[in-house]
Every structure is written in structure tokens, then in C-alpha cells.
Amino acid sequence: MDYDEDLFSDCFDSGIFSKELQAFWLLSQLQIRARAARIMNITTVSFTTYIHNLERAMKCVLIQQNTPTNGFHLTDEGVALQKQTAYLLQIARDALSESHQKTEQLEGQITIGAFPSATLIFIPKLLSIIKAEHPHLTVKVRERSTTKIFQMVREGTLDIGIVRMTDKAENIHEADLKAFDLYQEKTYIVINKNHTLAKKKFVSWEELATEDLLMLSNDQGPMRSQIMRRFEEARVTPHILCEGAESLTLLRMVAQNAGITIVSQRSLALATHLREFLHILSPETRPIELYTGVILRSRGYIPRTIQYIRETLLKIEADYTIAPKT
């Protein structure tokens, strides 16, 4: 870490670090005693006194004078202290920056992407919170498929995206992206209440393969591939009657007895106006687990605005509870 007067002036002026440690840090970075003394607005004699005081306090020699060249070098103890000071300065800088920012209003613009059911679950509440807490922050929302959101985040046309993920965030390894968990849910098989299977609570994949299936299209995320994998494991091929971009569209078709569908727990909870026409089943085998998370471009830090959006989404999620009745 090189010395940057503007970068660390807040840390020095705050009084967090002693004058002795400031003097040592500046000298270790600038290599010129007179320049370091000028930055601290003291004489070179006073500057040298600070260094000696620090060495006495630590009971070791930190800077060794090179007599022939009138220069100096850090001892092993000095190198160790230099590394620890750099680490502490970075922590102090981040803490001071965060403290200052908490008293400031967020401004500018942020663009958020979300797949259809996530838009209904999160975006209205998110916009309401932002309007109340940061009225000068402009938010643009783009409802897109999961596949498209991944692409747009990578391209930089979206700052942050809510997407379906293939696994928990800790198991998502994308060099150009960061992923964070939002929630996990199960899928349900949904049929018309007058369907011949409506007397059952569980159904096999073999039975489902004989029905007209209404499926989400391929670009809607990993849910489609997970469903198809279950049919493959059962060694049957489903009859896909229709492909759609939104779960609610498929549920409306089921309500009209056009076929059966498989949707997420939360998509089903959003269709309360259709529930009187629907019957919910679970697969006989283990349920399909779906993971939803937040993605953003990988960088050395997370901008405060994006961090705020992510934290707000987590708060909304913490207050969101569903339990669809079967």
C-alpha cells in the first residue's frame, strides 16, 4: 500500500493513530525524512524524536541508518510493523468512510433486474423503502429472465440482479460475478381441482409424463433443467404442451384445465385469486429445491448503493413468510 495523503488524512487527523506511528508510516513510505516531517508540519528533529520514542516503546530498532549513503532501511521488526500498520490503516479508513456515509443520503441511479415472480415479491416494497430512506436515489427496474439478467449484469447494463441459481451462493463459482443467497424454496405440482389426480396428495414422475405439461421456458433459469432431470431419472419423457415465461400465466392455464404445471412455492402463493380452481400435489420422490439469490459484478469492493440494495432485499426477505395450503 503506497502513501496517499488524501486517502489517509482522515485516519491521521482523527487521532486514531499516535504521532509516533504516523511518523514511522510516512518515513517507511516516502523514504525521505524531511518530506515526511513537512507533511506532519513538524521539524525534522521532532520527527526523529517520534521515531526514537516509538522504538523505545516497542523495545526494538525499526529503522537502521546506512552511514555511507546517509540513507536508511527497515529492520525485520520495521518491516513487520509496516505491514501491520498498512492493515490497520485500511481498516480505519473503511470504518471512518462507513461512519461518514451512514449520515449521508444516497444519490444517483441504480438499475435492478429481477425475474417475474421476484419482481412481485420484492420490488414494490423495495421501491417504497428507498423512496422513504433515500428520496434522491433513482431506481430503474428491468423484469427479465434469469438468463438475461446474468448476461446484463456481466455487461454492466444492470448493477444488481435477482436470479434463480443452481445452488447456494457459496457453491456458485463465477470469476466475473459475486453471488449472495436470498431465499430457498420448494416446487409444487399444480393441477385443476377437477383433474382425475385431484384426489391424491402425491404423484409420481411416471404419472406426470402422461399428462399435458405446461412448462417455464429454458431461459427462466435452472428450474426447467431440474424438472427435466427428474423425468430423466424416472426414465420417462414428458409431453410438453406449452412453454411460458411466467408462472402466473401457466397457473391461469391450469385454472382453465388446459394442463398441469410445476411452479415454485412463492409463485403459487402469489396466485391467491386462482386457488379455488387449483389442487396442489407434491412429487413422490424428494422435492426440487430452488435457490434464489442476488448477483453483481465481481470487483475489489461493493459500492455503498449496491450494498444498501442487497441489505434491504435481505430485510424484505426476513419479513416475508408463506405457507401454501395443500
One digit per residue, the tens of pLDDT, for the chain of length 326 reads 444 554 455 566 556 678 888 888 888 888 888 888 888 788 889 888 988 998 899 899 988 877 666 678 888 998 898 888 877 777 776 666 666 555 567 888 899 999 988 999 999 999 999 999 999 999 999 999 999 999 999 988 999 999 999 888 887 778 789 899 999 999 999 999 999 999 998 999 999 999 999 998 888 778 888 999 999 999 999 999 999 888 999 999 999 999 999 999 999 988 889 989 999 999 988 888 999 999 998 866 678 889 899 999 999 998 876 544 44
User: Across the strands, what pairs with 203?
Assistant: 283
DSSP state string for 149-204: HHHHHHHTS-SEEEEEESS-GGG---TTEEEEEEEEEEEEEEEETTSGGGG-SEE-
Residue 325 has a pLDDT of: 45
Q: Cα separations (Å) of 302 from 49, 295, 305, 321?
A: 41, 11, 8, 28
pTM across the whole model: 0.64
For residue 112 the three cell numbers come to 435492478
Residue 321 has a pLDDT of: 64
Residue 101 has a pLDDT of: 57
CA torsion angle for 48, 51, 52, 55 (degrees, to 10)? -170
User: Kind of pairing, strands 137-143 and 212-216?
Assistant: unpaired
Query: Domains in the chain, please, with CATH?
Result: 5-102 (1.10.10.10), 106-326 (3.40.190.290)
Q: CA-to-CA distance for 277 and 46, rounded, in angstroms?
A: 85
Owner of C-alpha cell 444516497: 106
Residue 67 has a pLDDT of: 65
Q: CA-to-CA distance for 102 and 61, rounded, in angstroms?
A: 41
